[in-house]
Amino acid sequence: MNRFPSLRRASRRSALFACALLAQYWLAPAAFAYTRDFILPASGGCPVVERQNFAIGAAPLPIQWSTSLPNLNPPAILTAAAPGTAAQLAEIGSTIAQTYAIWTGVSGTLVNASSYPNALAPLAITSTQNACSSDPVNGIPNNVDGIDTICFNQSSSAFTTGVLSFTRIVVANAPSQSFGSAPASIFAGQIVDADIYFRNDGQATFATPAALSSNPGAYDLESLLAHELGHLFGLDHSGVWRAIMFPYAPPPGSFLATRPTASAPDAPLSDDDRAGLRSLYPDPADTIDIGWISGRVLPANPFALADFPATSAGEYVTGIFGAQVVAVDASSGSVIAATLGGWTCDPANPPAQFDGSYTLGPLPVGHSYVIYAEPFVGLVQASDIAGAFAGVCATGASPSCTVPAVNTNFVPRVRP
């Protein structure tokens, strides 16, 4: 089993990182989760969540895909239509549009296509081979254009062993920042560019939904793209099996969810995926998904934190840091939402304090929930979710802090 942690490179002006989806050859039971990323503003203070500029009245997010495909035999992208034809490109474009609709089909968000049809610009095409930003040099992004692009024929050093696809994201840590030809940022934490890359060296093939059944050795293009679009919108990897944002792909020839339909475009997602998107882009008109649950994860024996003393910056670890906290519907047993717990920050008294705090939501009101916490000691290791904590502190910030190691030295028990 190959594992590949999220890459994250940061400078004082920006954060640039890649979230990769890897090959998986092991089936997992059904459950879902979501995780967000944070960045520390250049002005200091508390971390802010990373997100696209989906505000009411904001310009539509420009999106496109490159029609340049690798010249391989067999083709890298397998379709029902013949390779090299206009019908093949149309089939790929239709799959991309349908996959975007998975996320824009989520109700209660500012990206919902029915409530906010102008959140995304129409899907455009370009024939440019290297339409995505190029590999960074000394941590500085190159060729950033502010257009979220999907590339199937662009090479990158990020395609290490086992990586099938990845999303490179450029995030501003202050308003009015400029990167390449992209429009200046509006706020700290804004994702100003997000490009998606698929492996193009013949080590993996991808199939559209129409071609998957006849190509059992290919990875489902819709599955991988749905995962990468979650990164594009601002979600990080999930530590819960079979999540859309789980860092391992379904086995070749399989799609482990429900295909989207015209009446249910978000069918491949589960409640926690939807909760993740709603947490980033809540619709002020939503009256259903407005519940929140907060608390702290503490050891039964406080001396269990002895292995996690004060960091070099002087703050103390007073709760379990890096646990996955899950909300389960008490009636149905379904996982509704999950998040990473471990820190909080008082805007009047930064920096972040590592006290085991967590917040889950937004959750549907009128339900009862069971909450549990678990360590990252299974298939997904602590290193696989490191990107979700990397932006909580920053080198050279004032006041400063140091992110402690993720605590995996605890065993959850049910209290009578």
* pLDDT at residue number 414: 65
pLDDT(308) > 80:
no
206-224: b (≥16 Cβ within 10 Å) or e: bbbbebbeebeebbbbbbb
CB 158 within 8 Å of CB 197: yes
* pLDDT at residue number 306: 67
Which of 1-15, 85-99, 203-217, 273-287 has the least mean pLDDT? Answer: 1-15
Q: How many C-beta atoms lie closer than 10 Å to residue 378's C-beta?
A: 12
Instruction: Report the distance separating Cα 365 and Cα 342, nearest Å.
Output: 25
**Paired sense of beta strands 148-151 and 140-142, if any:** unpaired
Give 99-121 pLDDT, tens digit per residue.
999 999 999 999 999 999 999 99
Give 242-289 pLDDT, tens digit per residue.
778 888 888 999 998 889 999 999 999 988 889 899 999 999 999 999
pLDDT(309) > 70:
no
Reported pTM: 0.90
Tell me the pLDDT band of 1, cut-offs 50, 70 and 90. Answer: very low
Average pLDDT value for the chain: 86
Q: What is the DSSP string of 194-206?
A: EEEEE--SSS--E
Instruction: Report the distance separating Cα 132 and Cα 36, nearest Å.
Output: 23
Beta bridge partners of 10: 15
Domains and their CATH numbers in the chain: 7-270 (3.40.390.10)
SS (H, E, C) 105-161: CCCCECCCCCCCCCCECCCEEECCCCCCCEEEECCEEECCCCCEEEECCCCCCCCCC
The three-point CA angle 208-212-214 to 5° equals 130
CB 298 within 8 Å of CB 356: yes
pLDDT(2) > 50:
no
